[in-house]
Chain A
Amino acid sequence: MAGVYNVPIMGISEKERVYTVGEVNRLADGLLQGLVLWVEGEVSNLRPYPNYSFFSLSDEDASISCIIFRDALAGMDCELREGMSLLVRGRLGIYVRRGQFRLNVLEARESGEGRLRKEFLLLMRKLAAEGLFDEALKRPLPAYPDTVGLITSLEGAAVRDVVINLTRRFPGARLLIRGVRVQGEEAVGDIVAALDLFNRAQAAEVLILARGGGSLEDLRPFNSEEVARAIRASSIPVVTGVGHEPDITLSDLAADFRASTPTGAAEAVVPSREEVIGLLRQKELAMASGLRHALHRLERRLGAQMARRPLSDPAMLVNQAAQRLADAEAELVSAGRMSLERRERALETADLALARFPREYRALPLRVEEGARKLTASLKVWLRWRGAELPLRARELESAMADMISRGEGRLRLAGSRLDALSPLAVLARGYAIVTREGETRPLTDSAAVGVGDGLDIRLHRGRIRGEVREVRPREEGSETR
């Protein structure tokens, strides 16, 4: 809307011209007359595009926007980097659409290390010399943290990346976020205070210090000595996730683990659900195999027992118990016999005494008989007292045996039902067989135990086979397998 107004508005006289914005910018651009000059400064805020790159060139107290086109970039002897010191020749101008004052870089070359980079390197060397970055100081991260502390800005992509990835990966953890400023003057103080807070409150088992991508200037707090030292001083392991910057920060070097992005940091501190489920499955298999081995050991022990004694099943234990009972009974019976003998002797004595009594004491036998009866009764009491231990022991033994057997059977049943595939009987299902001589229950383990023509009973996983021995070969040395 260029033009001269006839009616003065807002104090503009008719003779004064009103410019359009574009005209102003073009005017300013024209005043610069395409001035070409050399300037040196530090590169920051680098934003590369396919055909050109934007960056700022700055020194201690000023900064200028620059654009460099592909041709000029191609002519450079090195890559454009954040923080580098750059000497450029460029044409000053105004970008009309935005009214932005900027330098169109025609050629550029690196002019030595940038100030920030120099500072960074000096500080890194100093802290490294102190041992702040020693590998030996790095602590392992807890495998399954209950609480993860996150120190980052409450706005932006970093918090979002950590929250989304951590909660998705592992629902077993809690995430506790402490919001801080991650750039600007106060960022260092905020971050150091947050690290200190988590430590003093012991509020987490592992800490993530995260920030989205940024220039060397943006990452300054993460390259500060204070933050690096606070990270190293933390009693809680620290993981850094400072995004997208190819250069490592001092925070990364001081941390127990460095992830290159906030997402990477979330992945570093918690296992994934799938990972844990896989691990649980492994544990399940390991437990089953441990139990199977225990069962096999029991099997072998029973086998060894069968080889020693001609008893092949829990009936052996019953028989043993029965045998001990019989022994105890025999002892009791012999004790009983003794009592009879004594009683007989007592009666004999009584008879003799009776015989010696004069006739006039004929009435006395009743009393003698009574004495004999008393004697017999006391003998019985004595016998019961002496013999009491025996049946008691036998009964204890019997019930202990029965307990043992039923426990053993119960255990085997339990094992069998729960671990069908693992039970000793499954050995048969794998193609093994139990061979006994016909009419016997003891499994054959030695060919010497049978002769040609003997009948064999072969028990398979399903069914039995009757067979006959056609040939007996003695054991060959060395041919024995386990």
Chain B
Amino acid sequence: MDEMTFKEMMERLERITATLEKEDLELEEGLRLFEEGVGLIREARQRLAAASAKVEKLIGSLEEGLATEGFELEEPGQP
């Protein structure tokens, strides 16, 4: 999967803004970075709009093999 992680997107954005703030930036380069940055921001916003984070249970052991399975909270009410 070539998709960037959220961290990678934020790091790339950080570098883009840092470059855009440099004195000797050429307009052409600036426009290219601006375009890339706007795309990243759009993607990041989309991901943040997702319903919620994925929750899983880590089961098994390294020796016998690790696996994950879905985790659902029990109904509230018990202490």
A residues at B contact (CB < 8 Å): 142-146, 149, 154-157, 159-160, 163-164, 166-168, 170-179, 197-198, 200-201, 203, 270, 273, 276-277, 279-280, 283-284, 286-291, 293-295, 297-298, 407, 411, 414-415, 418
In Å, the complex CA distance between A284 and B37 comes to 8
Tell me whether A174 and B54 are in contact (CB under 8 A): yes
A174 with B17, Cβ < 8 A, contacts A197-B61, A277-B48 known: no
**Chain A CB within 10 Å, residue with most, of B27, B38, B78:** B27
Closest to B7 in A: A144
Closest to B29 in A: A294
Tell me whether B27 and A298 are in contact (CB under 8 A): yes
A154 with B5, Cβ < 8 A, contacts A287-B34, A290-B30 known: no
- Chain B residues lying within 8 Å of A411, measured Cβ to Cβ, are 27-28, 31
Residue from the list B19, B38, B55 in contact with A284, Cβ < 8 A: B38
- Chain B residues lying within 8 Å of A173, measured Cβ to Cβ, are 6, 53
Tell me whether B37 and A146 are in contact (CB under 8 A): no
- Chain A residues lying within 8 Å of B26, measured Cβ to Cβ, are 294
Tell me whether A146 and B34 are in contact (CB under 8 A): no
Interface of A is mostly: helix
In Å, the complex CA distance between A201 and B45 comes to 31
How many A-B contacts are there with CB distance less than 8 Å? 143
Tell me whether A172 and B53 are in contact (CB under 8 A): yes
In Å, the complex CA distance between A277 and B44 comes to 9
Tell me whether A283 and B57 are in contact (CB under 8 A): no
In Å, the complex CA distance between A288 and B34 comes to 7
CB distance from B52 to the nearest CB of A (A): 4
Residue from the list A144, A155, A290 in contact with B6, Cβ < 8 A: A144
Residue from the list B30, B47, B66 in contact with A294, Cβ < 8 A: B30
In Å, the complex CA distance between A42 and B57 comes to 38
Tell me whether A177 and B56 are in contact (CB under 8 A): yes
Question: Can you list 5 A-B pairs with a CB-CB distance of less than 8 A?
Answer: A149-B58, A174-B53, A286-B17, A290-B34, A297-B27
A145 with B7, Cβ < 8 A, contacts A280-B44, A291-B31 known: yes
Tell me whether A291 and B6 are in contact (CB under 8 A): no
Tell me whether B55 and A177 are in contact (CB under 8 A): yes
- Chain B residues lying within 8 Å of A289, measured Cβ to Cβ, are 20-21
| Binary CB contact string for chain B from 65 to 79 against chain A (1 if under 8 A, 0 otherwise) | 010100101101011
Tell me whether B27 and A295 are in contact (CB under 8 A): yes
Tell me whether B20 and A286 are in contact (CB under 8 A): yes
Closest to B54 in A: A174
Tell me whether B38 and A276 are in contact (CB under 8 A): no
Tell me whether A287 and B45 are in contact (CB under 8 A): no
- Chain A residues lying within 8 Å of B22, measured Cβ to Cβ, are 290
CB distance from A203 to the nearest CB of B (A): 6
Closest to B9 in A: A144
Tell me whether B7 and A146 are in contact (CB under 8 A): yes
Tell me whether A142 and B7 are in contact (CB under 8 A): yes
A291 with B20, Cβ < 8 A, contacts A168-B52, A171-B47 known: yes
Residue from the list A157, A166, A203 in contact with B53, Cβ < 8 A: A166
CB distance from A267 to the nearest CB of B (A): 14
Tell me whether A172 and B48 are in contact (CB under 8 A): yes
- Chain A residues lying within 8 Å of B49, measured Cβ to Cβ, are 171
